[in-house]
Amino acid sequence: MTDEKTTAPVPSPNPAPGPASPPKTVGAPLSTDEKRGLLKRMLRGAVNPSPTPSIKDVPARFYRPEAFPALQEIELHRKAADRMGIRNPFFMPHEGIPGGRAVIGGRDVLNFGTYNYLGLVGDPRVNRAAVDALERYGTSAGASRLVAGERPIHRALEGALAEYFGCDDALVFVSGHGTNVTAIGHLMGAKDLILHDEWIHNSVLLGAALSGAHRRSFSHNNWEEADRFLARNRGKYEKVLLVVEGLYSMDGDVAPVDRFVEVKRKHRALLMVDEAHSLGVVGAHGGGVREHFGLDGADVDLWMGTLSKSLASQGGVLAGSRAMIEVMRYTCPGFVYSVGLAPPLAGAALEALRLLRAEPERVTRLQANGRVFLDAARGVGLDVGPSEGYAVVPVVVGNSLRAARASNRLLEHGVHALPILHPAVPEKRARLRFFLSAAHTEDELLRAVALTRQVLDEL
Protein backbone atom coordinates (compact mmCIF):
# COMPACT_ATOMS: atom_id res chain seq x y z
CA MET A 1 0.00 0.00 0.00
CA THR A 2 1.45 3.37 -0.87
CA ASP A 3 0.93 6.41 1.27
CA GLU A 4 1.15 9.95 0.06
CA LYS A 5 -0.03 13.31 1.24
CA THR A 6 -1.49 14.78 -1.88
CA THR A 7 -0.83 18.38 -1.05
CA ALA A 8 1.69 19.40 -3.69
CA PRO A 9 5.00 20.17 -2.00
CA VAL A 10 5.95 23.80 -2.28
CA PRO A 11 8.88 23.81 -4.72
CA SER A 12 12.08 24.91 -3.05
CA PRO A 13 13.25 28.27 -4.35
CA ASN A 14 16.15 28.34 -6.78
CA PRO A 15 19.51 28.32 -5.04
CA ALA A 16 20.28 31.94 -4.40
CA PRO A 17 23.17 33.34 -6.42
CA GLY A 18 26.22 34.37 -4.39
CA PRO A 19 25.88 37.40 -2.14
CA ALA A 20 27.09 40.78 -3.39
CA SER A 21 30.03 40.99 -0.93
CA PRO A 22 32.25 38.13 0.28
CA PRO A 23 30.60 36.35 3.21
CA LYS A 24 32.20 36.25 6.62
CA THR A 25 33.55 32.95 7.75
CA VAL A 26 30.64 31.09 9.27
CA GLY A 27 30.75 31.31 13.03
CA ALA A 28 33.28 34.21 13.28
CA PRO A 29 31.83 36.80 15.67
CA LEU A 30 31.24 40.37 14.39
CA SER A 31 32.92 43.29 16.13
CA THR A 32 30.72 46.05 17.59
CA ASP A 33 31.61 48.37 14.64
CA GLU A 34 30.82 45.66 12.15
CA LYS A 35 27.46 45.04 13.81
CA ARG A 36 26.64 48.78 13.71
CA GLY A 37 27.61 49.02 10.02
CA LEU A 38 25.54 45.96 9.12
CA LEU A 39 22.52 47.32 10.98
CA LYS A 40 22.81 50.68 9.18
CA ARG A 41 23.07 49.03 5.78
CA MET A 42 20.11 46.79 6.55
CA LEU A 43 18.02 49.77 7.57
CA ARG A 44 18.94 51.52 4.30
CA GLY A 45 17.92 48.37 2.45
CA ALA A 46 21.44 47.78 1.16
CA VAL A 47 21.59 44.29 2.64
CA ASN A 48 18.88 41.85 1.65
CA PRO A 49 18.84 38.96 4.12
CA SER A 50 17.33 36.62 1.48
CA PRO A 51 18.35 37.88 -1.96
CA THR A 52 15.92 36.93 -4.72
CA PRO A 53 17.58 35.46 -7.79
CA SER A 54 18.30 37.84 -10.59
CA ILE A 55 15.95 37.65 -13.57
CA LYS A 56 18.93 36.60 -15.69
CA ASP A 57 19.23 33.40 -13.67
CA VAL A 58 15.76 32.05 -14.47
CA PRO A 59 16.47 29.10 -16.77
CA ALA A 60 14.72 28.76 -20.14
CA ARG A 61 12.99 25.56 -19.01
CA PHE A 62 10.89 27.67 -16.63
CA TYR A 63 9.50 30.13 -19.15
CA ARG A 64 10.07 28.93 -22.75
CA PRO A 65 7.73 26.09 -23.86
CA GLU A 66 10.37 25.00 -26.41
CA ALA A 67 12.65 24.19 -23.45
CA PHE A 68 10.05 22.40 -21.27
CA PRO A 69 11.39 18.95 -20.29
CA ALA A 70 8.04 17.41 -21.32
CA LEU A 71 8.56 18.59 -24.90
CA GLN A 72 12.08 17.25 -24.96
CA GLU A 73 10.81 13.89 -23.81
CA ILE A 74 8.15 13.82 -26.54
CA GLU A 75 10.78 14.65 -29.14
CA LEU A 76 13.11 12.00 -27.79
CA HIS A 77 10.39 9.37 -28.11
CA ARG A 78 9.53 10.57 -31.61
CA LYS A 79 13.15 10.36 -32.76
CA ALA A 80 13.60 6.91 -31.21
CA ALA A 81 10.39 5.70 -32.92
CA ASP A 82 11.54 7.17 -36.29
CA ARG A 83 14.90 5.46 -35.96
CA MET A 84 13.18 2.13 -35.30
CA GLY A 85 10.75 2.63 -38.18
CA ILE A 86 7.66 2.85 -35.92
CA ARG A 87 4.82 5.05 -37.17
CA ASN A 88 3.08 7.18 -34.56
CA PRO A 89 -0.11 5.23 -33.72
CA PHE A 90 -1.62 8.21 -31.89
CA PHE A 91 -3.74 11.10 -33.23
CA MET A 92 -4.62 9.16 -36.37
CA PRO A 93 -7.62 10.89 -37.93
CA HIS A 94 -10.64 8.70 -38.55
CA GLU A 95 -13.07 9.73 -41.25
CA GLY A 96 -16.79 9.12 -40.89
CA ILE A 97 -18.44 7.39 -37.94
CA PRO A 98 -16.28 5.21 -35.70
CA GLY A 99 -18.23 1.96 -35.32
CA GLY A 100 -17.05 -1.65 -35.57
CA ARG A 101 -15.22 -0.38 -38.63
CA ALA A 102 -13.52 2.94 -39.28
CA VAL A 103 -11.96 4.72 -42.22
CA ILE A 104 -8.34 5.65 -41.55
CA GLY A 105 -6.21 7.22 -44.27
CA GLY A 106 -8.93 6.36 -46.81
CA ARG A 107 -8.86 2.65 -45.81
CA ASP A 108 -11.74 0.73 -44.31
CA VAL A 109 -10.36 -1.07 -41.22
CA LEU A 110 -11.69 -3.08 -38.27
CA ASN A 111 -11.90 -0.65 -35.40
CA PHE A 112 -11.03 -1.60 -31.82
CA GLY A 113 -9.97 1.88 -30.78
CA THR A 114 -13.18 3.70 -29.79
CA TYR A 115 -15.61 3.47 -26.88
CA ASN A 116 -18.67 3.00 -29.04
CA TYR A 117 -19.63 -0.04 -26.97
CA LEU A 118 -23.29 -0.22 -27.92
CA GLY A 119 -22.85 0.96 -31.49
CA LEU A 120 -24.94 4.07 -30.82
CA VAL A 121 -22.50 6.69 -32.16
CA GLY A 122 -23.98 7.68 -35.51
CA ASP A 123 -27.31 5.91 -34.84
CA PRO A 124 -29.87 7.99 -36.81
CA ARG A 125 -32.14 8.33 -33.74
CA VAL A 126 -29.29 9.61 -31.59
CA ASN A 127 -28.27 12.02 -34.36
CA ARG A 128 -31.89 13.18 -34.71
CA ALA A 129 -32.15 13.85 -30.97
CA ALA A 130 -28.96 15.92 -31.10
CA VAL A 131 -30.27 17.89 -34.09
CA ASP A 132 -33.66 18.46 -32.41
CA ALA A 133 -31.94 19.84 -29.30
CA LEU A 134 -29.64 21.93 -31.46
CA GLU A 135 -32.57 23.43 -33.39
CA ARG A 136 -34.49 24.14 -30.22
CA TYR A 137 -31.69 25.42 -27.97
CA GLY A 138 -28.71 26.12 -30.23
CA THR A 139 -25.21 24.71 -29.99
CA SER A 140 -24.31 26.10 -26.56
CA ALA A 141 -26.00 26.49 -23.18
CA GLY A 142 -24.29 29.88 -23.23
CA ALA A 143 -23.80 30.20 -19.46
CA SER A 144 -23.36 28.23 -16.26
CA ARG A 145 -26.62 26.53 -15.41
CA LEU A 146 -26.63 28.31 -12.06
CA VAL A 147 -27.12 31.59 -13.87
CA ALA A 148 -28.70 31.48 -17.33
CA GLY A 149 -27.59 28.14 -18.80
CA GLU A 150 -30.33 25.83 -17.50
CA ARG A 151 -32.37 24.13 -20.28
CA PRO A 152 -35.22 21.67 -19.78
CA ILE A 153 -33.19 18.98 -21.55
CA HIS A 154 -30.59 19.06 -18.75
CA ARG A 155 -33.09 18.05 -16.11
CA ALA A 156 -34.68 15.50 -18.45
CA LEU A 157 -31.27 13.85 -18.88
CA GLU A 158 -30.50 14.03 -15.17
CA GLY A 159 -33.85 12.47 -14.31
CA ALA A 160 -33.14 9.56 -16.67
CA LEU A 161 -29.61 9.13 -15.29
CA ALA A 162 -30.84 9.23 -11.68
CA GLU A 163 -33.27 6.45 -12.58
CA TYR A 164 -30.50 4.48 -14.29
CA PHE A 165 -28.31 4.62 -11.16
CA GLY A 166 -31.28 4.02 -8.83
CA CYS A 167 -30.63 7.33 -7.05
CA ASP A 168 -32.61 10.39 -5.99
CA ASP A 169 -30.87 12.75 -8.35
CA ALA A 170 -28.03 13.29 -10.81
CA LEU A 171 -25.96 16.16 -12.17
CA VAL A 172 -24.24 16.39 -15.58
CA PHE A 173 -20.91 18.07 -16.23
CA VAL A 174 -19.18 19.07 -19.46
CA SER A 175 -16.40 16.46 -19.16
CA GLY A 176 -16.09 12.99 -17.66
CA HIS A 177 -12.48 13.54 -16.65
CA GLY A 178 -13.36 16.96 -15.25
CA THR A 179 -16.21 15.45 -13.22
CA ASN A 180 -13.81 13.32 -11.17
CA VAL A 181 -11.28 16.11 -10.78
CA THR A 182 -13.76 18.69 -9.60
CA ALA A 183 -16.02 16.41 -7.52
CA ILE A 184 -13.19 14.77 -5.56
CA GLY A 185 -11.17 17.98 -5.42
CA HIS A 186 -14.17 19.77 -3.95
CA LEU A 187 -15.63 17.15 -1.65
CA MET A 188 -12.42 16.22 0.13
CA GLY A 189 -10.00 18.33 2.17
CA ALA A 190 -6.77 18.35 4.15
CA LYS A 191 -8.15 16.38 7.11
CA ASP A 192 -9.68 13.69 4.91
CA LEU A 193 -8.44 10.48 3.33
CA ILE A 194 -8.90 9.21 -0.22
CA LEU A 195 -8.38 5.45 -0.37
CA HIS A 196 -8.33 4.12 -3.93
CA ASP A 197 -7.46 1.12 -6.06
CA GLU A 198 -3.88 1.19 -7.35
CA TRP A 199 -5.20 1.07 -10.95
CA ILE A 200 -7.59 3.98 -10.55
CA HIS A 201 -8.00 6.44 -13.41
CA ASN A 202 -5.85 9.55 -13.74
CA SER A 203 -8.87 11.84 -13.19
CA VAL A 204 -9.33 10.45 -9.67
CA LEU A 205 -5.65 10.99 -8.86
CA LEU A 206 -5.83 14.58 -10.09
CA GLY A 207 -8.97 15.20 -8.03
CA ALA A 208 -7.18 13.78 -4.98
CA ALA A 209 -4.18 16.05 -5.56
CA LEU A 210 -6.45 19.06 -5.93
CA SER A 211 -8.27 18.25 -2.70
CA GLY A 212 -5.12 18.30 -0.55
CA ALA A 213 -6.43 15.20 1.26
CA HIS A 214 -4.25 12.31 2.38
CA ARG A 215 -4.14 9.63 -0.29
CA ARG A 216 -3.46 5.90 -0.06
CA SER A 217 -3.79 3.19 -2.65
CA PHE A 218 -4.57 -0.46 -2.00
CA SER A 219 -3.53 -3.31 -4.27
CA HIS A 220 -5.88 -3.98 -7.14
CA ASN A 221 -9.40 -4.99 -6.02
CA ASN A 222 -8.07 -5.81 -2.55
CA TRP A 223 -11.01 -4.78 -0.35
CA GLU A 224 -9.51 -6.70 2.58
CA GLU A 225 -6.42 -4.51 2.50
CA ALA A 226 -8.62 -1.41 2.50
CA ASP A 227 -10.63 -2.87 5.37
CA ARG A 228 -7.51 -3.63 7.43
CA PHE A 229 -6.11 -0.16 6.88
CA LEU A 230 -9.34 1.49 7.96
CA ALA A 231 -9.62 -0.75 11.02
CA ARG A 232 -6.31 0.71 12.19
CA ASN A 233 -6.55 4.27 10.92
CA ARG A 234 -10.15 5.41 10.37
CA GLY A 235 -10.07 7.61 13.46
CA LYS A 236 -7.20 9.74 12.15
CA TYR A 237 -9.32 11.35 9.44
CA GLU A 238 -12.55 13.24 9.11
CA LYS A 239 -14.14 12.08 5.83
CA VAL A 240 -12.86 8.95 4.09
CA LEU A 241 -13.61 8.41 0.39
CA LEU A 242 -13.11 4.94 -1.09
CA VAL A 243 -12.82 5.09 -4.87
CA VAL A 244 -12.99 2.18 -7.32
CA GLU A 245 -13.90 1.72 -10.98
CA GLY A 246 -16.80 -0.56 -11.88
CA LEU A 247 -14.95 -1.99 -14.90
CA TYR A 248 -11.25 -1.22 -15.13
CA SER A 249 -10.38 0.63 -18.31
CA MET A 250 -6.95 -0.92 -18.85
CA ASP A 251 -7.65 -4.53 -17.86
CA GLY A 252 -11.37 -5.01 -18.30
CA ASP A 253 -12.05 -6.64 -14.93
CA VAL A 254 -14.95 -5.87 -12.59
CA ALA A 255 -14.29 -4.54 -9.07
CA PRO A 256 -15.88 -6.44 -6.13
CA VAL A 257 -18.09 -3.42 -5.44
CA ASP A 258 -20.36 -5.41 -3.12
CA ARG A 259 -17.38 -5.96 -0.82
CA PHE A 260 -16.42 -2.29 -0.94
CA VAL A 261 -19.98 -1.42 0.10
CA GLU A 262 -19.48 -3.56 3.24
CA VAL A 263 -16.12 -1.90 3.95
CA LYS A 264 -17.50 1.60 3.60
CA ARG A 265 -20.44 0.78 5.89
CA LYS A 266 -18.22 -0.77 8.52
CA HIS A 267 -15.92 2.24 8.68
CA ARG A 268 -18.34 5.10 8.08
CA ALA A 269 -16.64 5.98 4.83
CA LEU A 270 -18.06 7.31 1.56
CA LEU A 271 -17.89 5.12 -1.56
CA MET A 272 -17.48 6.46 -5.10
CA VAL A 273 -17.74 4.11 -8.08
CA ASP A 274 -16.55 5.26 -11.51
CA GLU A 275 -18.85 3.58 -14.01
CA ALA A 276 -17.23 5.12 -17.11
CA HIS A 277 -16.72 1.74 -18.79
CA SER A 278 -19.41 -0.32 -17.07
CA LEU A 279 -22.41 1.86 -17.87
CA GLY A 280 -24.37 -0.01 -20.56
CA VAL A 281 -21.76 -2.77 -20.55
CA VAL A 282 -21.86 -4.74 -17.27
CA GLY A 283 -25.08 -6.27 -15.88
CA ALA A 284 -27.58 -8.37 -17.84
CA HIS A 285 -29.32 -5.22 -19.12
CA GLY A 286 -26.30 -2.94 -19.08
CA GLY A 287 -27.28 -1.55 -15.67
CA GLY A 288 -23.61 -1.45 -14.62
CA VAL A 289 -22.19 -2.91 -11.42
CA ARG A 290 -25.39 -2.03 -9.55
CA GLU A 291 -27.27 -4.57 -11.63
CA HIS A 292 -24.32 -7.00 -11.72
CA PHE A 293 -24.13 -7.21 -7.91
CA GLY A 294 -27.82 -6.55 -7.19
CA LEU A 295 -27.01 -3.36 -5.28
CA ASP A 296 -29.30 -0.57 -4.28
CA GLY A 297 -28.51 2.88 -5.70
CA ALA A 298 -28.11 4.16 -2.15
CA ASP A 299 -25.37 1.58 -1.39
CA VAL A 300 -22.92 3.87 -3.16
CA ASP A 301 -22.59 7.51 -2.13
CA LEU A 302 -21.37 8.83 -5.45
CA TRP A 303 -21.92 7.07 -8.75
CA MET A 304 -19.85 8.60 -11.50
CA GLY A 305 -20.27 7.96 -15.20
CA THR A 306 -19.32 9.42 -18.54
CA LEU A 307 -21.61 10.21 -21.44
CA SER A 308 -18.77 9.57 -23.90
CA LYS A 309 -18.81 5.80 -24.02
CA SER A 310 -22.01 3.73 -24.22
CA LEU A 311 -24.06 6.93 -24.32
CA ALA A 312 -22.55 8.16 -27.59
CA SER A 313 -22.14 11.73 -26.39
CA GLN A 314 -19.76 13.71 -24.20
CA GLY A 315 -19.70 14.86 -20.58
CA GLY A 316 -19.78 13.39 -17.09
CA VAL A 317 -22.41 12.55 -14.51
CA LEU A 318 -22.63 12.20 -10.75
CA ALA A 319 -25.61 10.43 -9.19
CA GLY A 320 -26.45 10.07 -5.52
CA SER A 321 -28.76 11.10 -2.73
CA ARG A 322 -30.71 14.34 -2.91
CA ALA A 323 -28.38 15.82 -0.28
CA MET A 324 -25.18 14.86 -2.13
CA ILE A 325 -26.38 16.19 -5.47
CA GLU A 326 -27.77 19.38 -3.94
CA VAL A 327 -24.35 20.09 -2.39
CA MET A 328 -22.69 19.53 -5.75
CA ARG A 329 -25.24 21.55 -7.71
CA TYR A 330 -24.71 24.66 -5.60
CA THR A 331 -21.04 24.38 -4.69
CA CYS A 332 -18.97 22.13 -6.98
CA PRO A 333 -16.64 24.50 -8.90
CA GLY A 334 -16.53 22.43 -12.12
CA PHE A 335 -20.31 22.73 -12.27
CA VAL A 336 -20.95 26.19 -10.84
CA TYR A 337 -18.16 27.96 -12.72
CA SER A 338 -18.49 26.06 -15.99
CA VAL A 339 -20.99 26.27 -18.82
CA GLY A 340 -23.99 23.92 -18.89
CA LEU A 341 -23.65 20.80 -21.03
CA ALA A 342 -24.19 21.66 -24.72
CA PRO A 343 -27.87 20.89 -25.51
CA PRO A 344 -27.13 18.65 -28.54
CA LEU A 345 -24.88 16.50 -26.31
CA ALA A 346 -27.59 16.30 -23.66
CA GLY A 347 -30.12 15.33 -26.36
CA ALA A 348 -27.85 12.62 -27.77
CA ALA A 349 -27.11 11.10 -24.33
CA LEU A 350 -30.80 11.11 -23.38
CA GLU A 351 -31.76 9.27 -26.56
CA ALA A 352 -28.87 6.78 -26.17
CA LEU A 353 -30.05 6.05 -22.62
CA ARG A 354 -33.57 5.43 -23.94
CA LEU A 355 -32.17 3.07 -26.58
CA LEU A 356 -30.11 1.21 -23.98
CA ARG A 357 -33.40 0.42 -22.22
CA ALA A 358 -35.45 -0.17 -25.35
CA GLU A 359 -32.91 -2.40 -27.12
CA PRO A 360 -31.29 -4.63 -24.47
CA GLU A 361 -30.17 -6.92 -27.28
CA ARG A 362 -27.29 -4.49 -27.84
CA VAL A 363 -25.95 -5.34 -24.39
CA THR A 364 -26.50 -9.05 -25.01
CA ARG A 365 -24.56 -8.80 -28.29
CA LEU A 366 -21.73 -6.81 -26.71
CA GLN A 367 -21.37 -9.35 -23.91
CA ALA A 368 -21.49 -12.28 -26.37
CA ASN A 369 -18.83 -10.53 -28.46
CA GLY A 370 -16.69 -10.20 -25.36
CA ARG A 371 -16.90 -13.93 -24.70
CA VAL A 372 -16.09 -14.80 -28.32
CA PHE A 373 -13.06 -12.50 -28.32
CA LEU A 374 -11.78 -13.63 -24.95
CA ASP A 375 -12.18 -17.36 -25.66
CA ALA A 376 -10.54 -17.04 -29.08
CA ALA A 377 -7.66 -14.97 -27.67
CA ARG A 378 -7.04 -17.42 -24.82
CA GLY A 379 -7.38 -20.29 -27.29
CA VAL A 380 -4.38 -19.03 -29.28
CA GLY A 381 -2.35 -18.28 -26.15
CA LEU A 382 -2.72 -14.48 -26.00
CA ASP A 383 -2.29 -12.94 -22.54
CA VAL A 384 -5.58 -11.16 -21.85
CA GLY A 385 -4.75 -10.49 -18.20
CA PRO A 386 -7.70 -10.46 -15.80
CA SER A 387 -10.19 -9.26 -18.46
CA GLU A 388 -13.69 -10.62 -18.03
CA GLY A 389 -14.61 -9.92 -21.64
CA TYR A 390 -16.74 -6.83 -21.03
CA ALA A 391 -15.91 -4.33 -23.77
CA VAL A 392 -12.24 -3.94 -22.73
CA VAL A 393 -9.74 -6.70 -23.53
CA PRO A 394 -6.00 -6.13 -23.29
CA VAL A 395 -3.47 -8.30 -25.07
CA VAL A 396 -0.35 -7.96 -22.96
CA VAL A 397 2.76 -8.14 -25.12
CA GLY A 398 5.50 -7.47 -22.57
CA ASN A 399 7.15 -4.22 -23.64
CA SER A 400 6.26 -0.85 -25.15
CA LEU A 401 8.30 -1.32 -28.33
CA ARG A 402 6.63 -4.61 -29.16
CA ALA A 403 3.20 -3.10 -28.44
CA ALA A 404 3.83 -0.12 -30.76
CA ARG A 405 5.20 -2.40 -33.50
CA ALA A 406 2.27 -4.80 -33.18
CA SER A 407 -0.19 -1.92 -33.48
CA ASN A 408 1.57 -0.70 -36.66
CA ARG A 409 1.57 -4.17 -38.20
CA LEU A 410 -2.05 -4.82 -37.32
CA LEU A 411 -3.07 -1.63 -39.06
CA GLU A 412 -1.24 -2.79 -42.18
CA HIS A 413 -3.47 -5.88 -41.97
CA GLY A 414 -6.57 -3.68 -41.59
CA VAL A 415 -7.05 -3.87 -37.78
CA HIS A 416 -6.94 -0.75 -35.64
CA ALA A 417 -5.96 -1.50 -32.01
CA LEU A 418 -3.98 1.00 -30.01
CA PRO A 419 -0.90 0.25 -27.94
CA ILE A 420 -0.88 1.19 -24.25
CA LEU A 421 2.67 1.97 -23.30
CA HIS A 422 4.68 2.70 -20.19
CA PRO A 423 4.05 4.84 -18.08
CA ALA A 424 0.29 4.36 -18.58
CA VAL A 425 0.94 0.73 -17.53
CA PRO A 426 4.09 -0.93 -16.11
CA GLU A 427 6.60 -1.65 -18.93
CA LYS A 428 6.18 -5.42 -18.56
CA ARG A 429 2.42 -5.00 -18.90
CA ALA A 430 2.59 -2.91 -22.13
CA ARG A 431 -0.23 -4.05 -24.34
CA LEU A 432 -2.60 -3.70 -27.22
CA ARG A 433 -6.02 -2.69 -25.97
CA PHE A 434 -9.14 -3.84 -27.79
CA PHE A 435 -12.38 -1.95 -27.20
CA LEU A 436 -15.20 -4.22 -28.30
CA SER A 437 -18.55 -3.10 -29.62
CA ALA A 438 -22.00 -4.55 -30.21
CA ALA A 439 -21.35 -3.44 -33.78
CA HIS A 440 -18.59 -6.04 -34.35
CA THR A 441 -19.51 -9.31 -36.03
CA GLU A 442 -18.17 -12.66 -34.83
CA ASP A 443 -16.14 -12.99 -38.04
CA GLU A 444 -14.50 -9.64 -37.41
CA LEU A 445 -13.58 -10.59 -33.86
CA LEU A 446 -12.09 -13.93 -34.89
CA ARG A 447 -10.13 -12.28 -37.71
CA ALA A 448 -8.71 -9.70 -35.31
CA VAL A 449 -7.60 -12.41 -32.86
CA ALA A 450 -5.98 -14.52 -35.60
CA LEU A 451 -4.14 -11.51 -37.02
CA THR A 452 -2.95 -10.46 -33.56
CA ARG A 453 -1.52 -13.93 -32.97
CA GLN A 454 0.15 -13.86 -36.39
CA VAL A 455 1.65 -10.39 -35.89
CA LEU A 456 3.01 -11.21 -32.43
CA ASP A 457 4.56 -14.41 -33.75
CA GLU A 458 6.23 -12.47 -36.53
CA LEU A 459 7.71 -9.85 -34.21
Ligand X SMILES: Cc1ncc(COP(=O)(O)O)c(C=O)c1O
Residues 274-303 that bind ligand X (CB under 6 A): 274, 276-277
Helices of type H across 149-295: 152-165, 176-187, 202-211, 223-233, 257-266, 288-293
* CA 260 – CA 266 distance, rounded (Å): 10
Stretch that binds ligand X, among 103-111, 137-145, 156-164, 169-177 (CB under 6 A): 169-177
User: Could you say which of 175, 217, 278, 387 contacts ligand X (CB under 6 A)?
Assistant: 175
Question: Total number of residues binding ligand X (CB under 6 A)?
Answer: 13
Stretch that binds ligand X, among 67-75, 161-169, 171-179, 317-325 (CB under 6 A): 171-179
* Per-residue binding letters, 298-337, with ligand X (x by CB under 6 A): --------x-x-----------------------------
CB of 424 to ligand X, least distance (A): 11
User: Could you say which of 145, 151, 154, 201 contacts ligand X (CB under 6 A)?
Assistant: 201
**Does an H or E element contain 327, and which?**
helix 322-331
Told to check if 249 binds ligand X by CB under 6 A, we report yes
Is the Cβ–Cβ distance between 404 and 99 less than 8 Å? Answer: no
* CA 443 – CA 457 distance, rounded (Å): 21
Looking at the chain, how many residues does it have? 459
Secondary structure of residue 224 in the 3-state scheme: helix
| Pairing status of strand 107-111 against strand 214-218 | unpaired
Pick 177 or 365: Cβ nearer ligand X: 177
By beta carbon distance, the residue nearest ligand X is 176
Pick 176 or 288: Cβ nearer ligand X: 176
Q: In what order do the strands lie in the sheet with 392-396?
A: 392-396, 431-435, 418-420
Residue 285: DSSP 8-state:
T
Q: In what order do the strands lie in the sheet with 101-104?
A: 94-95, 101-104, 107-111, 415-416
Pick 86 or 424: Cβ nearer ligand X: 424
Pick 188 or 318: Cβ nearer ligand X: 318
User: Could you say which of 98, 100, 119, 176 contacts ligand X (CB under 6 A)?
Assistant: 176
CB of 250 to ligand X, least distance (A): 8
Please give the residue ranges that form the binding site for ligand X (CB under 6 A).
175-177, 180, 201, 203, 245, 249, 274, 276-277, 306, 308
